[in-house]
A and B are shown apart, each in its own frame.
Chain A
Amino acid sequence: MTHHRFSSRQTLAHLVLIFGAVIVLLPFYVMLTTSFKSSVGIASGTGGLFGAQELVLDQSCVNLGGSEQDCLTRPLIDNYHQAFTAAPLWRYLLNGVIVTASIFVLQTLIAVPAAYALAKLRFWGRDAAFGLVLFCLLIPVHAIALPLYLMLAKLGLTNSYAALILPWIVSAFGIFLMRQFFMTVPDDLIDAARMDGMGEFAIIWRVMLPTAIPALLAFAIFSVVAHWNDYFWPRIVLTGDRNLFTPPLGLREFKGDLDGDFYGPMMATATVIVTPLVVAFLLAQRRFIDGITLTGMK
């Protein structure tokens, strides 16, 4: 009897969790299925996940003078084709990669030496410097967007990669995280390296950093996820130049000229933007979840 009660409780737990999962997955389903459908299929709400895939006319092909016969295509292909041709989506993706990679590399170059000094070296002002780091942890960059924007505008830097990257290159959190990690590295390791005649720089990059790979990886995941998905900051510092748009901005622009016919290509764009991180997450779930929890405080 106990066994029976237990299993019915398990079933109930599964039912509740499945209901939650349906709601969590709903927008992903809507996104995918809409990106597969023609505007007719979207308006009627029929066709299941993949839609009817009835032949549709590729408008850009017709505009280029193709005959109707040659220009017939499937909705799925048409939507993704339009996503990449109606807007420079490849360019947006490239910008996303450039910006996220630059931010992470610069954050590392600045945070790791500082973290090492704060953890392992004795120098005048160390406590004050660490106090500054702790204080800066309390300031969300989004909150000071206005003065940052003004400073960049005064320097003539808005609408540039610099504007997208510079405000993020120093991460109080990155310094804090790496410092906590370096504290656990035994001093003997550093002393031995010094005995071997290594300079402080060599110690940082060749002795300390290799021991801190797990922390650095966690920070990398945190940083890349935050900046690939960030919409607020690019929205503020980019006003005109489409060539600098990051993926979320590109998608937002798509939404700007919305009418019924555009849902298919728009959802195709959304799918393309969301896919890289979701796939990376599915491939390395443990690392992502550990990384995001470790770096939870932003």
Chain B
Amino acid sequence: MSDVLMSALPRARRNARPEARQARAGAILVSPAVILLIVILILPVAVAFVLSFSDYTLGRDTLEWVGFENYADIFTRSSYRKMIVATVLYVVITVPISVGLGLGAALLIRSLKVGQNLYKTVYFLPVMASLLAMAIVWEFALHPTLGIVNRTLALGCGSSLELWPWYARSCAEGFPLWLGDRDYALWTLAFIGIWQSFGFNMVLYLAGLTSVPRDLYGAAEMDGVRAPWERFRLITWPMLGPTTVFVVTITMIRSFQVFDTVEALTHGGPAKSTYVMIYAIYEKGIAQNLVGLGAAITMLFLGFVMLISVAQRRFVERKVHYQ
């Protein structure tokens, strides 16, 4: 916009010399950032791309080109298939619940007459706290014998809760080990991820809700739309379209990057059930120094992330609201 203004209003003092000076100043001011962006973000992508076709390991001077062998490994070996399954499953569990709870909390809080700020503060606390620290606390809370979760669940034994078959079985045979059980571990990590992230989504939705014009609800009421669910379906949800696209994208990209809880609590186990991609990159590429393989997983990961971003842009271009 400022460009248009500048060319549309040629000013006397903007003669050739200051313009040349401005061009030089601009190039000088922007060059540190440009150089660093290239060295720190673009170059590594290129490095990962090149090394993904090699068997490079750190500390050895030679390397051999292996073609698509690393990629073939990823798509054929069962442990990497499990990696992709675990990553996708984690994202598929976490994103809808985290977004849904964020929206639900925002709607409930907006409907309150008192206490809005209190709930907002409480729900936002996990976003502030170090995820690693809180993961370690959750691990302790979920400890099979010492933890508060199983202790509390055990209090319900003998009550009508036992009508729930899962509960009755757990009372008889013991409550789950959570992080130590391959059937529960990924869900438990997803639970921690949801616990940590939904307050963030709530805040974004609260911001989105304030921008829904009030008079739309009045107009709808005149048209006979009175039930809360109808109001939500016809006005609130469509108007929140852009917010939802944004929230879903962020939550997806973040849950693809889950690492802290995996590294600290499960190391990808049990039985690779929580072996997510970033952890695999860390374990293969760095801890085990299988750089070629790690680089191939890195490229696959970047592919996923780019795909999400491109999908988001598509959505936004299709003008998410009023459709």
- Chain A residues with CB under 8 Å of chain B are 9-10, 13-14, 16-17, 20-21, 23-28, 30-31, 34, 42-43, 45, 110-111, 113-114, 116-126, 129, 132-133, 136, 138-151, 153, 166-167, 169-170, 172, 175, 183, 187, 191, 194-195, 200, 204, 225, 228-229, 231-232, 235-236, 247-248, 251-252, 255, 260, 263, 266-267, 270, 273-274, 277-278, 281-282, 285, 288-289, 292-293, 296-298
Contacts and interface: CB of A to CB of B under 8 A. Distances in A.
Given A167-B40, A296-B200, A117 B257 contact: no
Interface in B92-126: 101, 105, 108-109, 111-113, 115, 117, 119-126
30 contacts: A10-B113, A13-B112, A14-B112, A21-B123, A24-B199, A27-B138, A42-B146, A111-B33, A116-B29, A117-B25, A117-B27, A122-B23, A129-B33, A133-B33, A133-B37, A136-B37, A138-B305, A141-B40, A142-B259, A149-B286, A151-B44, A187-B6, A200-B25, A248-B260, A251-B132, A274-B133, A277-B130, A281-B124, A282-B121, A296-B250
A137 to B, nearest CB: 8
A281 B117 CA distance: 13
Interface string B116-148: 010111111111111111101110110000101
Interface stretch (B217-225, B267-275, B277-285): B277-285
Nearest to A17: B119
Contacts of A31: 133-134, 137
Range for the number of chain B residues in contact with chain A: 35 or more
B124 A289 contact: yes
Contact of B136 (A13, A136, A172, A251): A251
Contact of B30 (A129, A139, A150, A231): A129
Interface stretch (B65-73, B180-188, B233-241, B295-303): B295-303
B185 to A, nearest CB: 17
A23 B263 CA distance: 23
B13 to A, nearest CB: 8
A138 B200 contact: no
Nearest to B284: A146
Contacts of B278: 142-143, 145, 232
B291 A146 contact: yes
Contacts of B117: 285
B255 to A, nearest CB: 12
Overall SS of chain B's interface:
helix
Contacts of A151: 43-44, 47
B178 interface: no
Given A21-B123, A117-B26, A225-B128, A147 B48 contact: yes
A179 to B, nearest CB: 10
Overall SS of chain A's interface:
helix
A120 B119 CA distance: 42
A21 B111 CA distance: 17
A27 B257 CA distance: 23
Interface in B182-231: 195, 199-200, 203-204, 207
Given A232-B278, A255-B264, A274-B129, A25 B30 contact: no
Interface in B38-58: 38, 40-45, 47-48, 51, 58
B148 A26 contact: yes
Contact of A123 (B26, B263, B305): B26
Nearest to B121: A285
Given A21-B119, A30-B140, A126-B30, A143 B134 contact: no
A172 B33 CA distance: 9
B58 A153 contact: yes
Given A28-B129, A121-B29, A273-B133, 16 more contacts: A14-B112, A17-B108, A113-B29, A118-B30, A124-B23, A136-B41, A143-B257, A146-B285, A149-B286, A170-B40, A231-B263, A263-B140, A267-B137, A270-B134, A278-B129, A281-B124
A187 B5 contact: yes
A110 B133 contact: no
Contacts of B266: none
A267 B105 contact: no
A52 to B, nearest CB: 17
Given A26-B141, A142-B257, A183-B1, A114 B195 contact: no
A145 B108 CA distance: 40
Contacts of A114: 29-30, 32-34
A153 B41 CA distance: 16
Contacts of A13: 108, 111-112
Nearest to A229: B130
B282 A145 contact: yes
Contacts of B148: 26, 30, 45
B311 interface: no
B3 interface: yes
B120 A289 contact: yes
Contacts of A204: 29
